Structure 1
């Protein structure tokens, strides 16, 4: 579906570099580090983006693990990975340098410090994105940290836009990721992610309203079809994200909603049914979804839950579509749950 252009670096080489010591560890041994990328501590997750335009992309999200892992050692390993990628590809590191002292601290808090995603599209060199943790200095410091990061990147007005639409319920709405595209194109983005604990459709419809031209009813339809109802979603939180580019003076160009579908279905067979129902409503090819699933696992879908970890809806002028996130389940498969009623789910 996607990959490097002819003559470019092989995706396997990049994945090997990304995973560091974890990539060299036999799967017969336990995880080297309790990575939060996947539920079973696998430090990698795959996803396939289905654009309404017909374009496709494969994304690899990963955490770089040091030989002797620990918060400081993993940060240094991640920075070495980034330096290698800068030698291989045309990356923009000035924005990373502008904010790294905010997010890369000696005693990080939270479940991660630095993640990367590698985006592969046909006929293009790979793109790289970096994820920082806004909670790295504690929850109380997160909003100030994000505001300062935006200021340094020339996007001071972006914070007020996000606060007005997505930070309305106190501690129930909090920043979860601060991400940067590392390419030098005109649409190189800064992305903010906000987790919404126990949110319903109304919460994320208001959040989507920050983006000009986005119909919040599409968010409601997505939750109804893929999630099974309007909520509230009391398990893993719904997540909103906004994409900003410098030329837009703090107005987001895209909104995305991430549904952690694995918390709201009994097994992956049901998750697949929900995603395919959304695909059918959106005119997306269900057969390609099944090809992606088959590339990751051969197990029966009803034999576990969590293979289909998230599904997201993207809306806006930078491109609309749906992305499906697949766990490799390298270390464990979570057992299916009993059938749940709508009232138990929501």
Structure 2
């Protein structure tokens, strides 16, 4: 954790959800359907999207969650390998799940191998392309990956009336932090994005020294012209939330400022490891968009407090705060005033004048955090 406040509140983040007797698959599908219902999806869209999720989860997800962490996934502080989110792009809701596939044995290598296998299994799905992933995979996988660090993760995103979209997440620190500049230069070169990355690369040593480090890389597994490569920075210490985001062409700090203040107060200088994602597309001279992820648990007194802060941002920018509140109510296992940590992040992106907003939900099911650093 990144601050004493966060450590003090950690006990209220653990063991919120009773999933001991559930399988990972049943737990994931139940939460997916609850979110779809709260967002007002039709029966057809709920069922169609739930079927896509069910088909994506591998055999590992049929194992019981159990009372103790089987393998400590970096997805969540307690090691649970699933995270859900809801976003509003141009006011239209989208539901998403991020997860790490677990291997047949509780090891990082087994999880990495399971993730690689899942990626390849997606090759024949409509609209999916693995070309970019296969071009860079060797840079991000190692023979002996570290436990409680990212391996090869996946996400599924669904908006009513559109086909499911898939994304793969990779760990640029797999070969160590010192190797990140070299790994990123090689990856972006192979992806044809070297010119677009060059401006960020020239500043990377300075950014890292200030506490802005690349922690994830994600690829849209799509054959569409606008498919993105997303580079995620984690920020440590007191940070200027626009420091990395300002590298993106469409980032608007004036528009983003009120959202920062709604969550963090003024001045908005958080010390709880927020994140920023820069999105790159072929043909652009630099990063096109920036998503700033505002971390909530160490800033709020309870989930009720988090809900009011997030709803304030949604109302400010014309997103449906009532549907958002319905999602929170559908997911909460106990009164909102009595817990904290289910709502982990609020994301903010100024891509096209009207901000895109997202809320990320984590489901702490174990009574102890993993022994390691995770905000």
Match of 1:210 among 226, 233, 247: 247
SS across alignment from 1:168: helix
Is the alpha carbon distance of 1:7 and 1:225 closer, same or farther for their aligned partners in structure 2, counting shifts above 3 Å? closer
Distance, in Å, in 1 between the alignment partners of 2:136 and 2:40 is: 31
Query: What RMSD over aligned residues (CA atoms) do the two structures have, in Å?
Result: 2.6
| Greater shift in the superposed pair: 97-106 or 299-308 | 299-308
Q: Which residue of 2 aligns with 1:47?
A: 85
Q: Which residue of 1 aligns with 2:225?
A: 186
Distance, in Å, in 1 between the alignment partners of 2:307 and 2:105 is: 38
SS across alignment from 1:247: coil
Distance, in Å, in 2 between the alignment partners of 1:7 and 1:210 is: 37
Once the two structures are TM-superposed, the CA of residue 164 in structure 1 deviates from its matched residue by 5.8
User: Is 1:268 the counterpart of 2:303 in the alignment?
Assistant: yes
8 Å Cα contact 1:254/1:318 also seen in 2: no
SS across alignment from 2:244: helix
Once the two structures are TM-superposed, the CA of residue 167 in structure 1 deviates from its matched residue by 5.9
SS across alignment from 1:87: coil
TM-score (norm 1): 0.86
- The aligned length equals 329
Superposed CA offset, 1:303-324 (max 9, x none): 2111101111011249731100
Match of 2:319 among 273, 284, 288: 284
Superposed CA offset, 1:172-220 (max 9, x none): 11101111000111210001111121133xx332323223343212232
Match of 1:239 among 261, 275, 280: 275
Is the alpha carbon distance of 1:213 and 1:8 closer, same or farther for their aligned partners in structure 2, counting shifts above 3 Å? closer
Is the alpha carbon distance of 1:297 and 1:140 closer, same or farther for their aligned partners in structure 2, counting shifts above 3 Å? same
Match of 1:176 among 198, 202, 215: 215
User: Is 1:222 the counterpart of 2:259 in the alignment?
Assistant: yes
SS across alignment from 2:187: helix
Unpaired runs of 5+ in structure 1? 335-346
Is the alpha carbon distance of 1:285 and 1:183 closer, same or farther for their aligned partners in structure 2, counting shifts above 3 Å? same
Distance, in Å, in 2 between the alignment partners of 1:120 and 1:38 is: 22
Is the alpha carbon distance of 1:310 and 1:213 closer, same or farther for their aligned partners in structure 2, counting shifts above 3 Å? closer
TM-score (norm 2): 0.80
Is the alpha carbon distance of 1:332 and 1:302 closer, same or farther for their aligned partners in structure 2, counting shifts above 3 Å? farther
| Greater shift in the superposed pair: 103-112 or 298-307 | 103-112
User: Is 1:258 the counterpart of 2:297 in the alignment?
Assistant: no
Is the alpha carbon distance of 1:50 and 1:40 closer, same or farther for their aligned partners in structure 2, counting shifts above 3 Å? same
SS across alignment from 1:82: helix
Once the two structures are TM-superposed, the CA of residue 29 in structure 1 deviates from its matched residue by 3.3
Is the alpha carbon distance of 1:198 and 1:230 closer, same or farther for their aligned partners in structure 2, counting shifts above 3 Å? farther
Once the two structures are TM-superposed, the CA of residue 45 in structure 1 deviates from its matched residue by 0.7
SS across alignment from 1:68: coil
Unpaired runs of 5+ in structure 2? 1-38, 370-375
8 Å Cα contact 1:18/1:64 also seen in 2: no
8 Å Cα contact 1:194/1:241 also seen in 2: yes
8 Å Cα contact 2:197/2:286 also seen in 1: no
SS across alignment from 2:122: helix
Once the two structures are TM-superposed, the CA of residue 253 in structure 1 deviates from its matched residue by 1.8
Larger RCO (CA within 8 A; separation ≥ 6): 2
SS across alignment from 2:134: helix
Distance, in Å, in 1 between the alignment partners of 2:214 and 2:180 is: 7
Q: Which residue of 2 aligns with 1:328?
A: 363
SS across alignment from 2:124: helix
| Dislocated runs of 4+, deviation >4 Å | 2-10, 16-19, 163-167
Q: Which residue of 2 aligns with 1:118?
A: 156
Q: Which residue of 1 aligns with 2:64?
A: 26
